[in-house]
Structure 1
Amino acid sequence: MKDIKFKPKKIAKLLFVALLILGTACSDIEDLQPATSISVDTAFETENAVISSLNAAYDPLQWQQILGNQTFPLMAQGTRADDCHSQSASFWAIGAQWDQFNTIIPSLPAVASLWAKWYRGVSRANFTIELASNYENFETPGLQDQIVSEARFLRGLYYFELVKLWGGVPLFEEAVTSTDQEIFKPRASASEVYAFIEADLQAAAAILPIKGSERVQGSATSGAALGLLTKVYLYQEKWSEAVNAADQVMAQGVYSLESDFRNNFLQTTEFGPESLFEINYQDGLSATGPGTTQEGSAMWRWSFPFLSGTYPSFNNFIPRQDLVDFFDDSDQRKATTFLLPGQVLNSPGLAALNFDPVPDNFGYAIGVNTGAKKYFLTFEEVQVLLGPPSSPLNEKVLRYADVLLMHAEASIMGGGGDGATSFQQILDRAYGPGNPAAPTYTVQGVRDERRRELATEGWNRFTDLVRWDAVDGGGVIAPALAAVGKTDFVAPRDLLLPIPQQEIDTYPAGMLEQNPGY
């Protein structure tokens, strides 16, 4: 890396340039304004100011809208796949577009917004890495390496979202801080992007502390880096490497399954023993950047059945009946994942203020009578919100259960290790020991449990189907989609998202190639 002396006036200029150049559709640049004003007399003169740059690199995880389009990960995973309807009726245009393949086209603004979300994260992480690597006035021992390692974890996470959704993408390996630098790059191959991600996560895992010793609650840890690295290996069918990475997570001895599955999705048990990495939300905070909105999690409001007054919410991300029926009634995860008829949701005496217990029929046009419960807030929790769209409930990105399932899968695919024991932990928690309803340790059994365990969380379903389709040589994703009536899926086109047309048009002619079939 070139030697850069970060002086206050130069930093203010570099931050402005870095945030504008990368991570947004170039056609929107003229409409953007700096996210914050920076005093050139004090910018980045203290280590706390450098930490503020790192905090900005975490921010994109919370962005739920860019340039007017929602960017919930669940849209590109559960809704695009076979887990969720976009809504109870066709009133949400963006949701409906993600719910059918013939509307997911290169000119779709929602695809461009999702692309921009992750590239803005890359841009901010790159800037933090360069800033912290060259800052000379750290006073806290080890803080420089800590900041760089957290930023490398985030950059690895953001590129992982890009490569699993789009395949090979342009690879920006350092901060773009000047228009004199190369701002247009051709697509790297998927293998090149994965190699870059691996290097970032390996480096981060070697420096970051274990859970319990993190810089602040919610910041990246070595366990989070190793857990994500396990998934990166799994997506490349590197079975032995995935087993090894998962083994390292387990060997840290700081993670375990919650005995009660519900505890993964309650405010009172956030950052629990099962959490490797989660998006940390607080009610009442709102920030805006270039074309973005950010606040407490809006997932509760978008996932909960509409009730005027008491619950200012919408009928979106509705679990499909096929998914509900996929759970055995003895599976404790079923009552946590879905709103089920007869469930009592709130404290006694509040039935007049909301629907409690859950009715037998919501009256949905789609013929499903349920809701996604993992983001549910009780009436008492909603009543004290400072902002109705905001929820302080965190969203899980990576749980220990995911690591155990990945370990079990990589092991049974030939990666070595004791995957059967990992799988049994998942079964014992879900069904109870000795329950004949629990599946056996087979490839299909692991895949089925992965769907059940992670249902509606928003990070895995569609791309799990894609990678299993590749492992099996076809015959996985098309039948799964057809089973819920999605007959407009076309392979290989719909295995990946289209590169946004506005990005292709902004690049030099012929430089940014489109994905096949679009």
Structure 2
Amino acid sequence: MKKINKLLYIFAIAALLFTSCNEDEFLDAEPKGALNSSQLQTPEGIATLVNSAYAGLAQNFTDPNPAFFQPASNWSFCDVRSDDAYKGGGGVGDISEYHDLELGNIRADNFTLERKWKALYVGISRVNEALGALRDVSLEDVPLRDIHIGELRLIRGHFYFDLMKNFGSYVYIDESISFDEREKVPNTFNVQELWGHIEADFLDAIEKLPEQRELAGQVNKFAAHAYLCRTYLFQAKWDEAVIQADAVINSGRYGLFSDFTKLWDVDSEHGPEFIWSIEFSTNDGSASGNINWGNLLNTPRGAAYNGDNFHMPSQNLANAYKVDANGLPLFDSFNSSDVTNSDQVDPRLDHTIGRLGIPWKEFKDEVYNETWVRDAGTYGTLGSKKCQIDPTSPYMIKGWPWGGSPLNWPIIKYSDLILMKAEALIQSNQNLEEARSIINSIRERAQNSPYVKTLDGISDAANYKIGLYPSATWTQSYGLQALKFERRLELALEGIRFYDLVRWGDASEVLNTYIQQEASKRTYLNGANFVAGKNEYLPIPQDEIDRSGGIYIQNPAY
């Protein structure tokens, strides 16, 4: 089974030592420890607090079904609200709250929003508990004191970033605010101030973290640089984003895998493309391991997994992989017809999406077929393939939990980072040729990676072709169109697309066009709508507003 490193072992111990929050508690709940204050001020005690903060990244804070309703991957809050995915599962009534998110019928009493909010503040509370303990120790007592502060501030910045991109606002609480004072903190900070808190966490992490860590899963300063790049990109601070991206690129520590298929391989998950990932495991001493519960609902049915079949790719996404005679995307006409197995397509299509008649990873018993689909009448037959563990892997749990996987979830990959740099260069209209080279490097990797083969391994499973963008037609306008399309193709189903559309200002036009076109194939989308100025962000959970006694205010559009 998957090798367990020391960090993951400490995750398991931290989970036993700390209870986080139950359904009746909220963000001012104080973590409860089995260690007393004197024990916590030792290197071992501090390490337990720090690793409890790391464990919070998985957003598991209740049992049973720890992260079903608040996945750290954000597939339900991002992909399902975009043009990339349908909710899937056993019909529109199967977790109807996700169905409402997909249709844009978003209410403040949707319980999945409450769980997401709570999970993130449980994580923030763990971070602040650890930072508070570190205030009372010296470098002499805890030699890793400053490094711990750096990793904790990076983790906290990640949690606040997740709140910001989902809710458009948050309640800022740091380690200096006592538990009694937390319930009095409003959510009325301006956007610039809220981004400033996130930037400050990442900048301090850059200052305090080393370039290299002892254990896989521990963050270094380059993870902070990469996240700060993303933070600047969301604020359209193009020059600053390029500087942070270059800090990672010029380190020489990261790069693209030569093989696209290695991106979702347990044996490759600490390779050079992964800048920071959430660590998952099996064989760690617990009943089903520290598996990725947040994505567990998404495994297909069929002989390989027998899963619940949520997070199904949209027909629109599959169509986006069609290419012209030069192997380039069909920007304007890709959705004029539905892709077939005889169409010429980008080879990433069949690494990303399960299609009828096409083999599924290394599974040799049968090709992907209708038995793998739970409700084809509602959601069609496409399967989410990229983010699933290979069913032949010795690391996958057989039986319940169906398709249980130790596959890590990437928070930031190198491919995402260099595309962020390319975007910043294009948006600021500087060095367009370098941006083209970056995008082509992504496409060249796909071009040179193994293509999906027929079940007998003799020939390609489909008509694959991918070309590189020529310099002759490369302008700022064309480059931006290419960049946006490349981010969709390369990062599909990774909890990124919706947030990209929002920050580009494209969400209303793209998603309402998508709904209008897709509803002819998926009739349950009739009546769906994206409301500009409202649906970009989720409402503050009503339970949190009620508990605050009037301290919190609702997002204006709700």
Q: Name the TM-score, length of structure 1 as normaliser.
A: 0.83
1:10 corresponding residue in structure 2 = none
Between the aligned partners of 1:512 and 1:222, the Cα distance in structure 2 is 35
Q: Unpaired runs of 5+ in structure 1?
A: 1-14
Q: Name the structure 2 match of 1:179.
A: 180
**1:22-421 matched pairs, under 5 angstroms:** 28=25, 37-40=33-36, 43-64=39-60, 66=62, 70-72=69-71, 73-88=74-89, 89-90=91-92, 91-102=94-105, 104-136=106-138, 138=140, 141=143, 143-179=144-180, 183-210=184-211, 213-285=212-284, 295-298=290-293, 301-307=296-302, 311-328=305-322, 329-345=344-360, 351=365, 356-359=366-369, 362=373, 364-366=376-378, 368-381=380-393, 385=397, 388-389=400-401, 390-414=404-428, 416=430, 418-421=434-437
Deviation track 1:354-387 (CA, whole Å, cap 9, x = no partner) reads xx21126846113522211123233433786287
In structure 2, C-alpha distance between the alignment counterparts of 1:236 and 1:286, rounded to whole Å: 43
Per-residue deviation, residues 279-316 of structure 1 (Å, max 9, x unmatched) = 1101255889xxxx9930136642222237x6241110
**SS of the counterpart of 2:301?**
coil
Percent identical among aligned pairs is: 27
Letter in 2 for 1:224: A
Question: In the alignment, does 2:533 pair up with 1:492?
Answer: yes
> Which structure 2 residues correspond to residues 433-512 of structure 1 after superposition, within 5 A?
435-436=466-467, 442-458=479-495, 460-469=496-505, 475-485=509-519, 487-509=528-550, 511-512=551-552
CA contact (8 A) 1:257 1:274 kept: yes
Secondary structure of 1:318's counterpart equals: strand
**Change in CA separation of 1:304 and 1:407 when aligned onto 2, cut-off 3 Å:** same
Do the aligned partners of 2:154 and 2:202 also contact (CA within 8 Å) in 1? yes
Cα gap change, 1:346 to 1:504, in 2 (>3 Å): closer
Instruction: From the superposition, tell whether residues 313 and 50 of structure 1 become closer, same or farther in structure 2 (CA, over 3 Å).
Output: same
Contact 2:423-2:483 within 8 A present in 1 as well: yes
Q: 1:178 to 1:492 in 2, by over 3 A?
A: closer
Q: Deviations over 1:158-179 (max 9, x none)?
A: 1111111111222113254442
TM-score, with structure 2 as normaliser? 0.78
Q: Give CA deviations for 1:182-202 in whole Å, capped at 9, x if unaligned.
A: 643232112111111111111
What secondary structure is seen at the aligned counterpart in 2 of 1:398?
A: strand
Partner Cα separation in structure 2 for residue 99 and residue 382 of structure 1? 35
Q: Distance in 2 between matches of 1:378 and 1:163?
A: 33
Do the aligned partners of 1:231 and 1:242 also contact (CA within 8 Å) in 2?
A: yes
Contact 1:278 1:395 in 2 (8 A): yes
Q: Quick one: structure 1 residues 503 and 154, their matched pair in 2 at CA, closer, same or farther if it must change by over 3 Å?
A: same
**CA shift for structure 1 position 70:** 0.9
Give the letter aligned to residue 484 of structure 1.
Answer: E
* Alignment CA distance shift 1:182-1:85 (3 Å): closer
Q: Secondary structure at the match of 2:131?
A: helix
C-alpha root-mean-square deviation of aligned residues, in Å? 3.3
C-alpha separation in 2, matches of 1:327 and 1:422: 19
Q: What amino acid is the match of 2:25?
A: D
1:429 aligns with 2:430: no
1:517 partnered with 2:529: no
Aligned residue-pair number: 480
1:340 shift after superposition: 2.7
SS at match of 2:145: helix
Q: Which runs of 5+ in 2 are unaligned?
A: 1-16, 323-343, 450-464, 520-524
CA distance in 2, matches of 1:53, 1:461: 34
Rounded to whole Å, the distance in 2 between the matches of 1:304 and 1:186 is: 37
Q: 1:144 to 1:318 in 2, by over 3 A?
A: same
CA contact (8 A) 1:228 1:398 kept: yes
Q: Using the TM superposition, give the Cα deviation of residue 38 of structure 1 relative to its aligned residue in structure 2, in angstroms.
A: 0.8
- The one-character-per-residue Cα deviations of 1:223-263 (angstroms, maximum 9, x if unpaired) are 11111111110110111111111111111111110111111
Contact preservation (8 Å) 2:511, 2:530: no
Verify the 8 A CA contact 2:20 2:122 in the aligned structure 1: yes
